[in-house]
Amino acid sequence: MFERIGKCNESSDTLRAEGNQLYARKMFYDALLKYNESLCAAESESENMGLAFANRSAVYFEMKLYDKCLNNIDLAKENHYPNKNLEILEKRKAKCLEMTKQLKEEFSTVLNFKLSYPPNKKLPFIVDCLELKTNKEFGRHIVTNKTLKVGDVLVIEKPFVEIIQTSFLYTRCSNCFNDNMMDLIPCMTCNGAMFCTSQCREIAFKNFHKYECQLVNLISSSLLTPTMRMALRTLFVALSIFEGSIEDLEKFLHENTDCRTIFDLEDFNDMKQRFLAVNSLISSSDIEVNASIFEEIFHVVPQLKSMWTVHGQFIESFLRKQTQIGILNYHEIFSWPLKKGGFLDNDITAFKGSLAYQRGVVGTGFGSYSFTSLLNHSCAPNICRIHNNNEIILIVQRPIAKGEQLFDNYGYCFTNVSKDCRQQALLKQYRFKCNCRACVDNWPLLPSLRVLDKACLNKAKKACREVSSACLSKKKAHEKYKDLCEVIEKNSKNYPTLEVCSLMESSFAYLEMTLKPLLQFP
Ligand SMILES: C[S@@+](CC[C@H](N)C(=O)[O-])C[C@H]1O[C@@H](n2cnc3c(N)ncnc32)[C@H](O)[C@@H]1O
For the segment 447-461, the average pLDDT, to the nearest whole number, is 93
For the segment 351-378, the average pLDDT, to the nearest whole number, is 80
φ and ψ at residue 4, rounded to 5 degrees: -90, 115
pLDDT in the model for residue 232: 96
Residue 117 maps to a domain: no
Pocket of ligand 1 (CB under 6 A): 138-141, 282, 328-329, 373-374, 376-378, 430-432, 434
Q: How far is the CA of 373 from the centre of ligand 1 (A)?
A: 9
Comparing CA positions, the residue from 500, 502, 478 lying closest to residue 151 is 478
Whole domain around residue 55: which residue ranges? Answer: 9-102
Q: How far is the CA of 20 from the centre of ligand 1 (A)?
A: 51
What are the tens digits of pLDDT across the range 397-417?
A: 999 999 999 999 999 999 999
Residue 169 maps to a domain: no
Residues 1, 17: contact at Cβ < 8 Å? Answer: no
pLDDT in the model for residue 341: 67
Does an H or E element contain 140, and which? strand 139-144
519 pLDDT band, cuts 50/70/90, is confident
358 pLDDT band, cuts 50/70/90, is low
Instruction: Please work out, in degrees rounded to the nearest 5, the angle formed at the alpha carbon of residue 254 by the alpha carbons of 249 and 259.
Output: 105
Q: Which of 324, 377, 437 best tests ligand 1's pocket when mutated (most atoms within 8 Å of CB)?
A: 377
pLDDT in the model for residue 5: 60
Whether the pLDDT of residue 84 is over 50: the answer is yes
| H runs (alpha helix) in 337-453 | 355-359, 419-430, 437-440
CA pair distance 184, 40, nearest whole angstrom: 10
Residue 372 maps to a domain: no
Whether the pLDDT of residue 471 is over 80: the answer is no
Residue 312 maps to a domain: yes
Q: What is the atom index within ligand 1 of the atom nearest the CA of 261?
A: 9
Q: How far is the CA of 362 from the centre of ligand 1 (A)?
A: 25
Q: Which of 295, 325, 355 is the endpoint of a domain?
A: 325
For the segment 475-503, the average pLDDT, to the nearest whole number, is 94
CA pair distance 52, 371, nearest whole angstrom: 41
Q: How far is the CA of 302 from the centre of ligand 1 (A)?
A: 41
Whether the pLDDT of residue 53 is over 70: the answer is yes
Q: Which of 48, 67, 102 is the endpoint of a domain?
A: 102
Q: Which of 262, 430, 437 best tests ligand 1's pocket when mutated (most atoms within 8 Å of CB)?
A: 430
Residue 123 maps to a domain: no
Whether the pLDDT of residue 106 is over 60: the answer is no
Number of structural domains the chain divides into:
3
Residue 17 belongs to domain with CATH number = 1.25.40.10
CA pair distance 55, 68, nearest whole angstrom: 12
pLDDT in the model for residue 464: 84
Residue 241 maps to a domain: yes
pLDDT in the model for residue 221: 80
Q: What is the atom index within ligand 1 of the atom nearest the CA of 373?
A: 1
Q: How far is the CA of 448 from the centre of ligand 1 (A)?
A: 29
Residue 75 maps to a domain: yes
Whether the pLDDT of residue 223 is over 90: the answer is no
Whether the pLDDT of residue 217 is over 90: the answer is no
pLDDT in the model for residue 359: 67
Using H for helix, E for strand and C for coil, what is the string for 269-301? CCHHHHHHHHHCCCCCCCCCCCCHHHHHHHCCC
Whether the pLDDT of residue 350 is over 80: the answer is no
Q: What is the atom index within ligand 1 of the atom nearest the CA of 137?
A: 21
Give, using CA atoms, the residue closest to atom 26 of ligand 1: 430
Residues 183, 517: contact at Cβ < 8 Å? Answer: no
CA pair distance 426, 366, nearest whole angstrom: 19
Q: Which of 102, 129, 164 is the endpoint of a domain?
A: 102
354 pLDDT band, cuts 50/70/90, is very low
Residues 453, 494: contact at Cβ < 8 Å? Answer: yes
Q: Which of 142, 408, 414, 432 best tests ligand 1's pocket when mutated (most atoms within 8 Å of CB)?
A: 432
Whether the pLDDT of residue 514 is over 50: the answer is yes
Instruction: Please work out, in degrees rounded to the nearest 5, the angle formed at the alpha carbon of residue 448 by the alpha carbons of 445 and 454.
Output: 125
289 pLDDT band, cuts 50/70/90, is confident
pLDDT in the model for residue 342: 56
What pTM, to 2 d.p., does this model score?
A: 0.88
CA pair distance 430, 330, nearest whole angstrom: 12
Does an H or E element contain 134, and which? strand 130-135
Does an H or E element contain 331, and which? strand 331-335
Q: What average pLDDT is seen over the chain? A: 90
Q: Comparing 372 with 477, which gets the higher pLDDT?
A: 372
Q: What is the atom index within ligand 1 of the atom nearest the CA of 374?
A: 4
Strand 407-408 and strand 139-144: the pairing is unpaired
Q: How far is the CA of 273 from the centre of ligand 1 (A)?
A: 22
Q: What is the atom index within ligand 1 of the atom nearest the CA of 284?
A: 27
> With a cut of 0.90, is the ipTM above it?
yes
pLDDT in the model for residue 348: 39
For the segment 308-329, the average pLDDT, to the nearest whole number, is 95
For the segment 54-65, the average pLDDT, to the nearest whole number, is 94
